[in-house]
Amino acid sequence: MLFEVKDLTKVYGSRTVLDIPELCIEKGKVYGLLGPNGSGKTTLLEILGFLSRPTTGLIVYNAKKVHFLEVHLQEARKEVVMVGQQPILFTTSVYKNVEFGLKVRKVPRARRERVVHEVLDLVGMRDYVDARAHKLSGGETQRVAIARALACSPQAILFDEPTANVDVENQIIIERILKDINSEKGISVIFATHDRIQATRLSDRMLFLFQGKPASSIYENLFSGSVGTDEDGKTYCLIHDKLKLNVRTHKTGDVKISIEPRMIKVFQLEDQPGGEQTLAGQVMQLTDEGGDVRALIDIGIPISVLLGRNAYKQTPILTGQRVAVVCPPESVEIM
């Protein structure tokens, strides 16, 4: 095991931003850490990267209990490197930036030079070796930051939203680098993202965080609404004052709901089953997700629907098309 975490919490003032009863991370794998903004992804990565101390809890790294004393953390940091969401490069040359980790590890000069060129090659930035680091674009900066981390030959690299601030071209390159780091160098990778498709595409395992706690899967289609009962005695949830969904709950008043994308059904208008839970919508976007099809449908609010390959074959929908959508009560989770 790379990391074993037990009863970990991180509290800022009176706010608990992280509360993880148990978490195990294996060596040599790519983990996608998935969660919405503010779910505690960065906080968890900073703790695993030994940059921040947990408020309580136990962390075992490489079968050794971590003591959160500066001297021990300094040693541990030599094996786990974090690449931040918007990494910053030192105001000097690209070469000196990448060399930094090697210098603090007292690697001899000749070897430093070899490693710097090798890792810059790996991220496709070798031509920029003498460039001023601050002249680079966002995507190039991200790639040099990855090279700088790689140069340290770490056991693991933690990435915080590695493609959040880069263009599509660099996104593809960075995703490839992430894969290569793991498959060719055997480095464990943990990356945070709020992009489910990216997580599916890149990771061997997925971890879900929601409001600082591990979740069984990521909550999608998150909405605020209020629960009420109509004249027929049926419980419904009103979302954004316009959309009424039948739900099963004993809760009343303001709630947060999540609609499971796999349980939503989509029909052609002529085939629609009728009934109250059928809503009219328009297909806004279709994307491939590992053979399945993800549809973004506007039903007054945009909802994400995941159609299995067969379901899509039976009901081939097109973007712009008007469709009927059914959200069965069991697809709606009240939180």
Partner 1 sequence: MDLLVDSFSSALLLLKSFNAEVLAIVGVSLKVSSASTVVASVIGIPAGFWIAFEEFRGKRITITILNTLLALPTVVVGLFVYAFITRRGIFGPLDLLYTKTAMVIGQVILILPIVATFTISAINRIDERYRKSAMTLGANRVQTAVVILREARFGIMSAVIAAFGRVIAEVGVSMMLGGNAKGFTRTMTTAMALEYDKGEFVLAVALGIILLTISFTVNLFLNYFQGRARA
Nearer to partner 1 among residue 75 and residue 169 (C-beta): 75
Residue 166 touches partner 1, criterion: CB under 8 A: no
Among the listed residues 140, 206, 230, the one whose alpha carbon sits nearest the alpha carbon of residue 177: 140
Residue whose tokens read 């059928």: 278
- Describe the strand order of the beta sheet including 80-83 as a list of residue ranges: 80-83, 156-160, 188-193, 30-34, 205-210, 213-215
Q: How far is the CB of 227 from partner 1 (least distance, A)?
A: 43
φ, ψ of residue 105 in degrees (nearest 5): -95, 5
Q: Does 149 bind partner 1 (CB under 8 A)?
A: yes
Residue with tokens 């674009």: 137
Phi, psi dihedral angles at 119 (to 5 degrees): -75, -30
Q: How many residues bind partner 1 (CB under 8 A)?
A: 24
Rule CB under 8 A: is residue 70 a binding residue for partner 1?
Answer: yes
Q: Which amino acid is at 100?
A: F
Q: Is 77 in the site for partner 1 (CB under 8 A)?
A: yes
If one asks whether residue 66 binds partner 1 (CB under 8 A), the answer comes out as: no
Stretch that binds partner 1, among 25-33, 79-87, 172-180, 294-302 (CB under 8 A): 79-87
The least CB distance from residue 84 to partner 1, in Å, is 6
Residue 112 CB, nearest distance to partner 1 (Å)?
13
Does residue number 225 form part of the binding site for partner 1 (CB under 8 A)?
no
Rounded Cα distance between 218 and 209, Å, is 7
Judged by CB under 8 A, does residue 189 bind partner 1?
no
12 binds partner 1 (CB under 8 A): no
CA gap 201, 41 in Å, rounded: 19
Among 91, 229, 252, 314, contact with partner 1 (rule: CB under 8 A): 91
The interface region with partner 1, picked from 26-34, 78-86, 218-226, 253-261 by CB under 8 A, is 78-86
Binding status of residue 68 toward partner 1 by CB under 8 A: no
Please give the Cα distance from 307 to 28 (Å, whole number): 32
Determine, following the binding rule CB under 8 A, whether residue 105 of this chain makes contact with partner 1. yes
Three-state SS across 3-70? EEEEEEEEEECCEEEEEEEEEEECCCCEEEEECCCCCCHHHHHHHHCCCCCCCEEEEEECCEECCCCH
Distances (CA, A) of 171 to 45, 67, 296: 21, 36, 22
Supply the minimum distance, in Å, between the C-beta of residue 7 and partner 1.
Answer: 25
Of residues 58, 90, 252, 256, which one binds partner 1 by CB under 8 A? 90
Cβ-in-10-Å burial (0-12, 13-18, 19+) of 290 comes to exposed
Q: Give residue 302's Cα distance to chain centre.
A: 21
Q: Tell me the window of 89-97, 118-126, 235-243, 257-265 that interacts with partner 1 (CB under 8 A).
A: 89-97
CA–CA distance, 131 with 31 (Å, rounded to integer): 33
The window from 22-30, 143-151, 185-193, 324-332 that contacts partner 1 (CB under 8 A) reads 143-151
Classify the C-alpha dihedral 140-143-144-145 as positive or negative: positive
Instruction: Report the residue number, 78 or 126, with the smaller CB distance to partner 1.
Output: 78
Q: Which is nearer to partner 1, 150 or 293 (CB)?
A: 150
Told to check if 164 binds partner 1 by CB under 8 A, we report no
Q: State yes or no: residue 49 binds partner 1 (CB under 8 A).
A: yes
Q: Which chain residues interact with partner 1 by CB under 8 A?
A: 49, 51, 70, 74, 77-78, 81-82, 84, 86-92, 100-101, 104-105, 145, 148-149, 152
